[in-house]
Structure 1
């Protein structure tokens, strides 16, 4: 068979169960995502894309003191040489490294529009320029000295570092976040000075406790500042386990405007909160009157943040107003910490603070040993050359004679002076100007210095204490460059206990005004100011019409009872105004499409209600048991609900679709908080009753006053004696009185 003969697919197919094939391939994808995309390396705190960006910028010689280059050039080099993914993703990653509101210590020095804290995107890559920051120089110090391993790039034409030498503790200093497959990471940024202090303490005391290290690193230090309101115990526990949360609040102060007037000024907002969205949220709270004590919000920010909050009245307590805003806006948020990182670039693990610091220090020791061995190799090579030079100087005339007259001077010098090939090459390449006497003295001095340096390095390699001492000195140099002595290195986020502020009664701050609530047939709701006539003509959308109307007040909680047996709660002051057509009720509550609104009424404390289903079951429920806390409502009646009536009399009157009426004492009904209830009226079991008959209406009466119902022409009829219809609960009743409405409704 020739090599050109095509291979049949059946001959090259291996049968395999689908579950195993999918499992193997998904596991491969998951590992690739975990190791090569989402989780940072504990040693340099970088993901592959960030590491490749910094390395490509170094290859372009974009030093902190050098010129800027177009971001498009940088992005193109990263994509073409090391990271074969979308240029937009690479540019977004590089832009974030330059944002001082995202990175505590930016790794890229950007020139141009790299976005802002309002959430605006950076300008296109062709408009911005960048170069490395000083922190990145510390991260890559030693790359040219065999400090770390290199591996082939994606196409094997170049090499890239597996990890950076990282003299700068980047993982804790700048933090990291990412979502992998089945796991995620979220490491907050910290103050560099405190992180290095903790490293130095761990070097001196290798068995230091997590609590001690957490005392040195007070807590996260966010680039946007703010205040962390957590106890020391909580912070220590978070660092001990590697998981937890920190409550971060905006920094604010009260400005006195004179004459008893004041305003609150917010100067720092929590980390990763977009200022524009925060202000939109505060404006929404004012518009919907959810925080009635807040009158206005203004953004007076320039380069610094300045958000002004005006209170409704000067009698409001600023602490209470801010405590209310912290609960309902991003002026306070919880930063969830999950220190899930790659140990040695391979194993994902949720690490404690001590484990993260230990991984960094162990990496620094390995870098030190590799750089030392590299330097020893360089010293050995240089000493070999120097020894050859010195032999040449001692026999200078003979060396010159050999070079002038011998056909193969190299072989003659090797044989006569016992020189190596490297030494002879160095002598032959020596310039004539180097033959002066002073050069010999300099060579001897250089040799002596190299011998002393080699002895010192060999002693360090043999003594672990000296190694840690050298690492400590390096960390102190980084601390002097970027620590508290510089303006950028000072702590920005304060650690404080949350003040004990009494909760403010929001309902008491709502101005009490009359409202007329209108719910259209198609479910659009609005609230008109004042108590209008309930039968007044109103405008509705095409195809819509009047549904329910009731009088309420702005301080009321409106209860919506639906056919699915759930009660929903709506603050009356949140309803849209009556100028337009209103808004769909289903946007305000999670009311299923198949459910219909049965009743809407103001909630009154202490009242009781009859809830009943079409099947003729029901019970009494107290007002306190129907209040819902969420948009999804509260399930009370099981079954298809028919009605909800307030308990206003001592007897219940029921009527079914079969036009049978029953009266029985209200005390016969149980009071429940949820359930199907008990049988109210009997249907479909003999006596000429049809199985399809259902309950149609119910009302309450005081037996001594009788029952009234509307008649035609605006007249009302009253049946004083209801004895004929009195019976036991769950009985069938008797035919309705003469003249009872044909729709079987009491009114």
Structure 2
């Protein structure tokens, strides 16, 4: 037996082909199936196959709004057995979503029992819940039995299912859709049916209307959970023209007074597709992690309606400021991504804008109208054909009776005698004796005249495009009486507001409550913040081998500036510093600071203040402190060279001391003011470099602090005055051996 001889039996089905070709062909088939039969909705009825099959099965079961509800398990079984050969849970999940008024703008299923809630809780098992169709679902199915749409065989060939529903209203945009296919996805927000129909009427009247014209009626989405849409009209116009974009939605809230100056925020509507329980947990986490410093507490007091209570940390905070900070930090504001990727009438996927989607819907409605009219016309023609035969029988009643009574084959005799068809002859022979009365003849003539008039009207409509579009418009106006903005279900839920007038550059830190803190930085770079003032630094605890490096009083609203020996400034928000309950966090997790550099100075930033910076080489300058702010983790390079001194400018004299023990005092006006650089020479050295510096006023005089922490007067400091860049004179008697004005 050779290597390629197929084995006996079914082995002849084994094919030899390259793996890459086999995989690509099979994956392409899977991708096409996912796109066309699972993930993307049809632009005409806005439905995916599972939803369409659910509606058709419930229609076959006569589960109309007036009927009694049936078990969901029965409906799921019908769908799975007859139309949708997939798991029952996926079918039930789709049915549940159609019944949730917080998921669907216009629910298509009326559920009885537990169908889940906005907290994210699941629905009860299908054996416990019951369902039937809503009036909106009936509008989608209107005409399904009148040849309004094409049918195709089901998966097993035992039955037929509709390719698309007649769709009495633009369900694609009304209820929206979302799905992920292979290589593409769709995300369509829900809209208001009344507004969509107004836009359709505009298109029927003026087919050349632009998207901007349509947006005079369809101003934006209408989410089932309400909320405030803050997306600009210009942005939404671009979204509706291209079919891609996004819509920002905020929670609806109001300020509730509590007396004695107290107040709280009550949230009554949350953004679409946000689970309330997850939102409460998210807000609680923000409080615990101190990322929402204005928020004191959050409570869920919801019953039938949503009621989230947000308590401010201080009654002095403005409600608008509190909510602006929470909108930036939480899902109280979300962005709904819009990607109107749908299947057109030929089953081809593509992104459509608002006008394209509405035009496709109107074309579908026209086709449904024409098909229903032709179906009705065929019924009328068939009935008129029978009535014509009955009228012949009434005109020749005696002869008809004779033939029926005496002839062996009355049907054939009737056909031959009066030129009737089989259908007419059968109708005559099936006529009862009591229908031979004179009144019955009059009724037949009246019915014939009415049907003939209706036939002429339908034929005229089928020959006139303008009349067809007029009837499409009249049908949509009838829908508005059921789902329009004047009805309870059709009233707009989402409102519009201008985009917040907060600059994109304003960060959440601008809303931080001002509280005193003490910043503690250890020698090994661990940083933390203690509330209030630390009275006894000796009680602070550090990791083994570590000790206190800097202790700085500040406030939560401050920006902490950290000056490193490589001449860079780093900025850290005091509100984001870890609590002092533990050892804090390594500073290098917050900024990109090298392990080899030393921290020279730590202080809170003060706008408008100036600092003196100097390098080990003895060069320095005055820098506006605002120039030190760095908005990057890498910091901001300010001083060239190895930094050694950072001083706040207080006075009109500058004293410098070198490693050689010589001191030089010169006027502050000899120092240049610059944002960054090397600076000017401060003091001349034969060897060594700058050790320390001090600023003071000539009027107050100079002092230094000895090793014991005592302040020593320096009455004859003027003897050390000279020009900048001079060598200076040896320090006076009693000057610290550390050669510093203040101990480090």
Q: TM-score range by the shorter chain?
A: 0.7 to 0.9
Deviation at 1:266, TM superposition (A): 2.2
1:234-633 mapped onto 2 (5 Å cutoff): 234-498=235-499, 500=501, 506=509, 509-515=512-518, 517=520, 530-531=533-534, 536=539, 538=541, 553=554, 555=556, 571-575=573-577, 577-579=579-581, 581=582, 604=605, 633=633
Moved more, 208-217 or 134-143: 208-217
Deviation at 1:486, TM superposition (A): 1.0
Give the match for residue 216 of structure 1. 217
Structure 1 counterpart SS, 2:246: strand
Change over 3 Å in CA distance of 1:480–1:575 after alignment to 2: same
Maintained 8 Å contact 1:510/1:554: no
Change over 3 Å in CA distance of 1:572–1:448 after alignment to 2: same
Q: Does 1:86 align with 2:54?
A: no
Deviation at 1:160, TM superposition (A): 0.9
Maintained 8 Å contact 2:570/2:636: no
Give the match for residue 140 of structure 1. 141
Listed as ranges, the gaps of 5+ residues in structure 2 are: 1-5, 616-621, 649-653, 660-673, 679-689, 695-706, 708-737
Q: Structure 2 length normalisation: TM-score? A: 0.76
Alignment partners' CA distance in 2, 1:25 and 1:487: 50
Give the match for residue 182 of structure 2. 181
Maintained 8 Å contact 1:320/1:501: no
Alignment partners' CA distance in 2, 1:672 and 1:53: 71
Alignment partners' CA distance in 2, 1:64 and 1:644: 83
Deviation at 1:521, TM superposition (A): 9.1
Alignment partners' CA distance in 2, 1:271 and 1:65: 31
Give the match for residue 634 of structure 1. 634
Alignment partners' CA distance in 2, 1:382 and 1:170: 36
Alignment partners' CA distance in 2, 1:139 and 1:436: 44
Alignment partners' CA distance in 1, 2:158 and 2:644: 78
Structure 2 counterpart SS, 1:489: coil
Maintained 8 Å contact 1:245/1:337: yes
Give the match for residue 58 of structure 2. 57
Change over 3 Å in CA distance of 1:101–1:15 after alignment to 2: closer
Maintained 8 Å contact 1:320/1:504: no
Structure 1 counterpart SS, 2:393: helix
Alignment partners' CA distance in 1, 2:500 and 2:14: 75
Alignment partners' CA distance in 2, 1:52 and 1:264: 45
Deviation at 1:509, TM superposition (A): 4.4
1:165-180 mapped onto 2 (5 Å cutoff): 165-180=166-181
1:75-105 Cα offsets, whole Å, 9 max, x none, are 2222222222222222222111111112111
Moved more, 485-494 or 315-324: 315-324
Alignment partners' CA distance in 2, 1:127 and 1:498: 45
Maintained 8 Å contact 1:279/1:297: yes
Alignment partners' CA distance in 2, 1:485 and 1:365: 26
Maintained 8 Å contact 1:193/1:479: yes
Alignment partners' CA distance in 2, 1:489 and 1:544: 70
Alignment partners' CA distance in 1, 2:373 and 2:611: 84
Change over 3 Å in CA distance of 1:611–1:456 after alignment to 2: farther
Q: Structure 1 length normalisation: TM-score? A: 0.76
Change over 3 Å in CA distance of 1:32–1:517 after alignment to 2: farther
Alignment partners' CA distance in 2, 1:318 and 1:672: 39
Change over 3 Å in CA distance of 1:646–1:98 after alignment to 2: farther
Change over 3 Å in CA distance of 1:251–1:10 after alignment to 2: closer
Deviation at 1:142, TM superposition (A): 0.6
Maintained 8 Å contact 1:525/1:585: no
Moved more, 528-537 or 315-324: 528-537
Deviation at 1:586, TM superposition (A): 11
Deviation at 1:112, TM superposition (A): 1.6
Deviation at 1:178, TM superposition (A): 2.0
Maintained 8 Å contact 1:515/1:530: yes
Maintained 8 Å contact 1:516/1:531: no
1:119-130 mapped onto 2 (5 Å cutoff): 119-130=120-131
Give the match for residue 16 of structure 2. 13
Deviation at 1:345, TM superposition (A): 4.6
Maintained 8 Å contact 1:291/1:506: no
Deviation at 1:348, TM superposition (A): 2.1
1:124-158 Cα offsets, whole Å, 9 max, x none, are 22222111110010001011011010111122212
Deviation at 1:162, TM superposition (A): 0.7
Give the match for residue 714 of structure 1. none
Deviation at 1:478, TM superposition (A): 0.2
Alignment partners' CA distance in 1, 2:100 and 2:297: 30
Maintained 8 Å contact 1:41/1:345: no
Alignment partners' CA distance in 2, 1:413 and 1:177: 64
After superposition, the CA RMSD in angstroms is: 5.1
Change over 3 Å in CA distance of 1:570–1:179 after alignment to 2: farther
Moved more, 488-497 or 436-445: 436-445
Give the match for residue 232 of structure 1. 233
Deviation at 1:334, TM superposition (A): 2.2
Structure 2 counterpart SS, 1:145: coil
Change over 3 Å in CA distance of 1:584–1:504 after alignment to 2: closer
Change over 3 Å in CA distance of 1:514–1:475 after alignment to 2: closer
Give the number of equivalent residue pairs. 682
Alignment partners' CA distance in 2, 1:651 and 1:345: 85
Alignment partners' CA distance in 1, 2:232 and 2:610: 44
1:427-457 Cα offsets, whole Å, 9 max, x none, are 3333444333332222222111111110000
Alignment partners' CA distance in 1, 2:410 and 2:220: 70
Listed as ranges, the gaps of 5+ residues in structure 1 are: 613-619, 655-670, 678-697, 703-709, 711-739, 741-745
Alignment partners' CA distance in 2, 1:103 and 1:282: 26
Maintained 8 Å contact 1:526/1:582: no
Structure 1 counterpart SS, 2:36: helix
Deviation at 1:324, TM superposition (A): 2.3
Maintained 8 Å contact 2:274/2:331: yes
Moved more, 420-429 or 52-61: 420-429
Change over 3 Å in CA distance of 1:285–1:377 after alignment to 2: same
Q: Does 1:151 align with 2:159?
A: no
Maintained 8 Å contact 2:96/2:115: yes
1:388-441 Cα offsets, whole Å, 9 max, x none, are 222333344444444444443333332233221222233333344433333222
Maintained 8 Å contact 2:45/2:170: yes
Change over 3 Å in CA distance of 1:590–1:604 after alignment to 2: closer
Give the match for residue 42 of structure 1. 43
Deviation at 1:271, TM superposition (A): 1.8
Q: Does 1:32 align with 2:33?
A: yes
